Structure 1
Amino acid sequence: MNSVKTYTLFTDHDIYLFKEGKHYKLYDKFGAHSAEKDGVKGVYFSVWAPNAKKVSVIGNFNNWNHKDHILFPRWDESGIWEGFIAGLTWGTLYKYAVETPGGEILEKSDPYALSWEQNIQAASLVSTTWYEWNDKEWFQNRWKKNSLNVPISVYELHLGSWLREDDDPEKFLNYRDIAKNLIPYIKEMGFTHVEFMPVMEYPYDPSWGYQITGFYAATSRFGSPQDLMFLIDELHQNEIGVILDWVPSHFPGDANGLHRFDGSYLYEHEDPRKGFHPDWKSHIFNYGRNEVKSFLISNAMFWLERYHADGLRVDAVTSMLHLDYSRNEGEWEPNIYGNNVNLEAKAFLQDFNTAVYKEFGDNIITIAEESSDFPMLTKPVHDGGVGFGMKWMMGWMHDTLDYFKVDPFNRKFHHHKLTFASMYMYNENYMMPLSHDEVVHGKASLIYKMPGDEWQKFANLRALYVYMFTHPGAKLLFMGDEFGQTSEWNFKKGLDWHLLEYPVHKGLQNLVKDLNHIYRYETAFYENQFNKEGFEWVEADDLENSVFVYLRKGKKKDDVFMVVLNLTPRVIDYKIGVSAGSHWEIVFNSDDERYAGSGVKPEIFDEQYGDYMRHQKSISIKLPPLAGIILKKKDKKYKQNRIKQHKR
């Protein structure tokens, strides 16, 4: 006997927008919602399954019997099944039993469920995202924290392995416990934002969260939706932004997930050349299907609205935009113009960026993980761009790591790997990533990518960080890299925090802390980080000495810093051309003993007038080995305490 009553949350306009790919708040309509009919409380269910013969709700309230509680198909050919079941409440476990035209019964979790069980059955839970937020002050001012002319230094972390109470792979800290430990650390280190690797529900721990089944559910590994909201709320109250990894590129083939949801290729593209990912053995969304576009863009809106996220880092954009990604000749079909651009995916990403920036403006950031030279990713959609706020600078990352891996005495043969980025660094709005992908799968930790003995390894990494934090663009550093984690990242265990008992690791952490504060509080390093006025080479071609010299400039004429990198293990007396009448003082040295350096003190020991390096004056500086130093132009009195006050 069917005890489901007719009920709807959809208007005709909702259906129109859904079918047009323009409904961006579907989470208010689909899924399980607390409701009341004829004075009786219960739950309203709705699901999209246009090719289903029958859909029923099964759960712990009816012994998972698919013959009861059958939903009603809507009359408008939208493919939506819906209905009201009296007496149900929060915590009810349920799935949809979807009968295909061939008579097969598929048990599917709710694509819009707000919570999932954390077990092999992975049933959906009737849940809520109600939470009393306390981050009003952050929201009133967050455009000042997320715009392109402010410092953005991101700490990327995996919630399951940043900190563990023990090494039991089945035990995790709750979101609230993470908040208690993480927030003081981020504040001490000076990062402006955290980026969480996917927090959406996923069944397989080794996927790190990138094989998502519950796109609208915060993973219950670490607690409830409200627990995650508490973590984000507390971060905001402590002036820390939150970026979430978002994965609209693919999904796994789990039986209870989106794959063949109603027996047909509903969410994924039917053509395996567009619908199956050969590397990840996962399924690719059909970006040309309007209802799928509505599902995905609504999902982005959901995390920005309901969870107060400040940004979305969009995973695997390269694979989305290229029809031939990881495919051999004959395994892909060109588009109507005869090239490899996935026009449907590009249009989807343009619609996504247009929608979220229209809704939230400069209060949020979208960031593309994109490794090709696909043009105009961070240009406005109305100018033909894809509309992202930023793009990961993968070329910079690869060139930089390739350079620093080389023995210092051979670096002269690779010199321009460090200068090449300046040829294109203003083509897009770039974020420089040293992410989790660089410290797994046999690639070694960052510290063990560096050549030489222990002292040289740490000196090299300190110099690399000086280069990174003083280079134009936003910054991203993966957890553990800030103190020299020696082993590759292992998602099954916490970081090796005990390493901080050793001076070299503590010194590296101190260096990252001070570089963060210099970047945040010295306007020359961020005001013009995305335009050409902010950077100038002084010396880019000294291959023999492996020395690099460049200026970083703020908007005010005299707001200028000079960065000098000596990337050999020799102490060098070095002559640099400067503008006439300028005076300089050294304000930072990565070889300082505070950073476990050798303690060689850089000093300006000579100033002369006379043409040098196309300038009317020169200064001579003693450069420490394998080090980066920062000098401040003294035309206006430099307040050293702006840096010193953070050296605690």
Structure 2
Amino acid sequence: MIKHLKIVDSDPMLHDYQNVILKRLQKTSLKEKELTKSNLSTFANGHHYYRLHRNIDHWIIREWAPNATKMYLIGEFSNWKENENFQFEKIDNGNFELKLPINSLKQADLYKLLLHWPGGQGERIPVWCTRVVQDPNTLIYSAQVWQNEKPFEWKSDTKRVKYTSPLIYEAHIGMATEKEGVGSYKEFRELVLPRIYKAGYNTIQLMAIQEHPYYGSFGYHVSSLFAASSRFGTPEELKQLIDAAHALGIMVIMDIVHSHAVKNELEGIGKFDGSPYQFFHADKRREHVAWDSLCYDYGKNEVLHLLLSNIKYWLEEYHFDGYRFDGVTSMLYYDHGLSRDFTSYEMYFDGGQDEDAICYLSLANKLIHEYHPNAISVAEEMSGYPGLAAPLTDGGLDFDFRLAMGIPDYWIKLIKETPDENWNVGNIFYELSNKRAEEKTISYAESHDQALVGDQTLIFRLIEKAMYDSMDKSSQNLLVDRGIALHKLIRLLTLSCSGNGYLNFMGNEFGHPEWIDFPRAGNNWSYQHARRQWSLVDNPKLRFEHLNEFDRDMIALQNKEEFINEAYIHCAQADQNNQVLAVLRKDLLFVFNLNPNESFTFYGIPTKAGKYQLILNSDDSTYGGFDRVDSKLLYYSKPEAPMSKNHRLYLYLPSRTALVFKYIPSKSIF
């Protein structure tokens, strides 16, 4: 057993809690030994045992339902009634099994299970089924036979890569098209994937893949863990999308929801075998107090088997390159983190933590890296749990990255509460670069969360209603000019100070003006705000094109220079009086003049001696700027005083402008 923890070395404040951390590690180790005979990957093969399988001469289906007394397969083949020919045999450990002749079922047949339990019975969707469809007329969900005779042919496996600094394009298949309706996997592959590739993002994060009965839940009320949502198309079409992304050198990770599940009993697994506690807590912990959903009981080995098999399934069957884990904070604490302000370390170790959930997350990450070493895992976690993104051997939970969730909240608060002329550049740098030493983080200015109905996108906060009548290039509007300038600065500030990764929600790269609102009774079931208006950025007369060009070149800068791969972020200058911030990253110097009124001539920035070339200028007219800086000039540092070893780079800094310079060794010039 590990007796010395590296996370304690990097954070001495954890010393008093080292024994708690060690006990959590020991619990994970003991649980792994209890579950496995060889390795986690072998244990996580439930999807090969359960669900419907087609063999050479028969079908076989198995389900675990310990509270059930009888189980039937029902469908068109049985007139949707229980039939002795389709009755399961109850075998061992609460498992049921049914074998059928090969001609009993055919591709695309609809089916369900009919379960009997003490005091009742009910129709259910199989827990382990991999295809669920909804009848467009009755709106009833059924499982569907989907077993192609020929396995999918993956063409781009050899092109799969791993990025140490993922540039994530967060996307939702259904709302990715401009039409007022639900987009498909095929449309995403043909229409949106080329845009992502051109934009330079190297990772796609797909939301709402696991089947969910209510479209407006954004995919976070999952009903069928193993089924790719059929509202977007077929399993093969999702695989074609992922294969096409791999061909372009793009990773694809999935937004996976293991933090809770939908309460629906007919579509979901809330009372699959008639009991409330099969997969979920039976007591007051059963229902999530804020999400109207059910909470998994991670202390049950059967639940671990289900969820770990689900982890392996998507990696194995669909060739995903990892996961973004939703709702990790909710999993970590008995109170889901809702009654804690996390102002002291005691709140991470005071006994209010769900040790079973911590164990599960540790095992899930170990499984991911064991099965697919190039896969990545990202935690959506806001409490600041120490060691979350540190290796297990160091005392952590083994996530590769943590989402820096405080950054978008910081930008919103700053924009809402502080006039531009009072923005504190030193505080901005601290908020954007502050992270735990042992962790890698994914920074972002806004994600889907900041655009949901009732909230506003970053660009809308900056420009407001002028978005609708003053975004054409021929218009003159000071509010729009301000918004365009700050949108670029905020995004470049966030990227330049990021801790190894960056995220953007689709459309935000060009300042998509609309909020996200899925069809619901409150909006008369409209799709108007559940889509992306690509025609705005494609229109050369509109200024959305300017923002898009800046984002593309900003991302290209990282792809070429790989500056966020370097852990060290140096603040070269934080001049609060003039609102000038300079950040040194690798051999790049980022200079931001956030002053809304003042431009500065011959402004000196401390640098190492040498030559510098301007490689990105937010004031370039290509990006909607005013061309106040000559981008072709080569800049030379000068000593602060005669014979001084301290040098400065003297610059012209227009107001609300960001300039990026690259240090050029002398041999590269002459």
TM-score > 0.5, shorter chain as reference: yes
Partner of 2:109: 92
Residues 97 and 456 (structure 1 numbering): CA distance in 2 closer, same or farther, change over 3 Å?
same
Partner of 2:578: 545
Bigger drift between 445-454 and 229-238 goes to: 445-454
Distance 2:95 2:74 in 1: 17
Distance 1:469 1:387 in 2: 24
Residues 337 and 66 (structure 1 numbering): CA distance in 2 closer, same or farther, change over 3 Å?
farther
Partner of 1:646: none
- Alpha-carbon distance, 1:375 to partner: 0.7
- Alpha-carbon distance, 1:414 to partner: 7.4
Partner of 2:395: 384
**Conserved in 2, the CA contact under 8 Å of 1:43 and 1:89?**
no
Partner of 1:619: 649
2:554 is matched with which residue: 494, 499, 515? 515
Distance 1:336 1:622 in 2: 48
Superposed CA deviations along residues 294-319 of structure 1, whole A, max 9, x for unmatched, are: 10111111111110101100001010
TM-score between the two structures when normalised by the length of structure 1: 0.85
Superposed CA deviations along residues 467-498 of structure 1, whole A, max 9, x for unmatched, are: 12222320110011111111212343321223
Distance 2:399 2:36 in 1: 24
Distance 2:548 2:288 in 1: 39
Partner of 1:56: 72
**Structure 1 residue matching 2:297: 3-state secondary structure:** coil
**Structure 2 residue matching 1:453: 3-state secondary structure:** helix
Partner of 2:44: 24
Distance 1:439 1:578 in 2: 39
Residues 395 and 638 (structure 1 numbering): CA distance in 2 closer, same or farther, change over 3 Å?
farther
- Alpha-carbon distance, 1:33 to partner: 0.4
Residues 360 and 16 (structure 1 numbering): CA distance in 2 closer, same or farther, change over 3 Å?
closer
Distance 1:561 1:336 in 2: 38
**Structure 2 residue matching 1:441: 3-state secondary structure:** coil
1:567 is matched with which residue: 586, 594, 609? 594
What letter is aligned with 1:543? Q
- Alpha-carbon distance, 1:347 to partner: 0.4
Distance 2:490 2:349 in 1: 43
Partner of 2:620: 592
Bigger drift between 628-637 and 225-234 goes to: 628-637
- Alpha-carbon distance, 1:595 to partner: 0.3
Identity %: 27
What letter is aligned with 1:177? E
Superposed CA deviations along residues 400-453 of structure 1, whole A, max 9, x for unmatched, are: 343344555443457514323434253411001321001113221110222670
1:608 is matched with which residue: 615, 618, 638? 638
What letter is aligned with 1:551? L
**Structure 2 residue matching 1:301: 3-state secondary structure:** helix
Partner of 1:365: 376
Partner of 2:250: 240
**Conserved in 1, the CA contact under 8 Å of 2:63 and 2:96?**
yes
**Structure 1 residue matching 2:361: 3-state secondary structure:** helix
Partner of 1:311: 322
Bigger drift between 257-266 and 448-457 goes to: 448-457
What letter is aligned with 2:50? F
Alignment of 1:477-488 (within 5 A): 477-488=504-515
Superposed CA deviations along residues 231-284 of structure 1, whole A, max 9, x for unmatched, are: 111111121111110000111111221101111134443344432111111001
Alignment of 1:32-51 (within 5 A): 32-36=52-56, 41-51=57-67
Distance 2:282 2:428 in 1: 41
Residues 83 and 211 (structure 1 numbering): CA distance in 2 closer, same or farther, change over 3 Å?
same
Distance 1:113 1:511 in 2: 45
Partner of 2:30: none
What letter is aligned with 1:294? H
Superposed CA deviations along residues 528-557 of structure 1, whole A, max 9, x for unmatched, are: 1xx33xx211013x222221111011xxxx
Partner of 1:81: 96
TM-score between the two structures when normalised by the length of structure 2: 0.83
* 2:158 equivalent to 1:137: yes
What letter is aligned with 1:59? G
**Conserved in 2, the CA contact under 8 Å of 1:311 and 1:366?**
yes
* 2:251 equivalent to 1:251: no
**Conserved in 1, the CA contact under 8 Å of 2:254 and 2:322?**
yes
Distance 2:507 2:348 in 1: 46
CA-based RMSD of the aligned residues comes to: 2.6
**Conserved in 2, the CA contact under 8 Å of 1:412 and 1:545?**
no
Distance 2:226 2:668 in 1: 50
**Structure 2 residue matching 1:444: 3-state secondary structure:** coil
What letter is aligned with 1:610? E
Partner of 2:15: none
- Alpha-carbon distance, 1:53 to partner: 1.3
2:142 is matched with which residue: 123, 137, 147? 123
* 2:462 equivalent to 1:446: no
**Conserved in 2, the CA contact under 8 Å of 1:378 and 1:391?**
yes
Superposed CA deviations along residues 174-220 of structure 1, whole A, max 9, x for unmatched, are: 31222111222112111111111121111101101111111111111
* 2:353 equivalent to 1:354: no
- Alpha-carbon distance, 1:101 to partner: 1.5
Partner of 1:154: 168
**Conserved in 1, the CA contact under 8 Å of 2:425 and 2:581?**
no
**Conserved in 1, the CA contact under 8 Å of 2:130 and 2:228?**
yes
Partner of 1:643: none
Distance 2:98 2:405 in 1: 48
What letter is aligned with 2:259? S
Distance 1:573 1:122 in 2: 67
- Alpha-carbon distance, 1:89 to partner: 2.7
What letter is aligned with 1:96? L
Distance 1:54 1:580 in 2: 77
**Conserved in 1, the CA contact under 8 Å of 2:389 and 2:401?**
yes
Distance 2:347 2:431 in 1: 32
Q: Please list every run of 5 or more consecutive structure 1 residues that lacks an aligned counterpart in the other structure.
A: 1-14, 554-559, 640-648
**Conserved in 2, the CA contact under 8 Å of 1:323 and 1:341?**
yes
Partner of 1:261: 272
Distance 2:662 2:250 in 1: 28
**Conserved in 1, the CA contact under 8 Å of 2:609 and 2:637?**
no
Residues 114 and 415 (structure 1 numbering): CA distance in 2 closer, same or farther, change over 3 Å?
same
What letter is aligned with 1:461? H
**Conserved in 1, the CA contact under 8 Å of 2:581 and 2:591?**
yes
**Structure 2 residue matching 1:450: 3-state secondary structure:** helix
Aligned residues: 588
Residues 414 and 443 (structure 1 numbering): CA distance in 2 closer, same or farther, change over 3 Å?
farther
* 2:202 equivalent to 1:192: yes
Distance 2:79 2:48 in 1: 28
**Conserved in 2, the CA contact under 8 Å of 1:563 and 1:629?**
yes
What letter is aligned with 1:519? Q
Partner of 1:526: 564
- Alpha-carbon distance, 1:125 to partner: 1.1
**Conserved in 1, the CA contact under 8 Å of 2:639 and 2:645?**
no
Superposed CA deviations along residues 112-143 of structure 1, whole A, max 9, x for unmatched, are: 1111112332111122373111013213xx2x
Distance 1:360 1:237 in 2: 18
Distance 2:484 2:347 in 1: 49
**Conserved in 2, the CA contact under 8 Å of 1:604 and 1:619?**
no
Distance 1:583 1:599 in 2: 22
**Conserved in 1, the CA contact under 8 Å of 2:451 and 2:515?**
yes
What letter is aligned with 1:416? N
2:493 is matched with which residue: 467, 470, 474? 467
**Conserved in 1, the CA contact under 8 Å of 2:611 and 2:636?**
no
**Conserved in 2, the CA contact under 8 Å of 1:577 and 1:615?**
no
Distance 1:152 1:372 in 2: 23
Partner of 2:484: 458
**Conserved in 2, the CA contact under 8 Å of 1:405 and 1:450?**
no
Bigger drift between 125-134 and 592-601 goes to: 125-134
Distance 2:602 2:55 in 1: 75
Partner of 2:351: 339
Q: Please list every run of 5 or more consecutive structure 2 residues that lacks an aligned counterpart in the other structure.
A: 1-33, 341-345, 464-477, 519-526
Residues 636 and 342 (structure 1 numbering): CA distance in 2 closer, same or farther, change over 3 Å?
farther
Distance 2:270 2:96 in 1: 18
Bigger drift between 200-209 and 446-455 goes to: 446-455
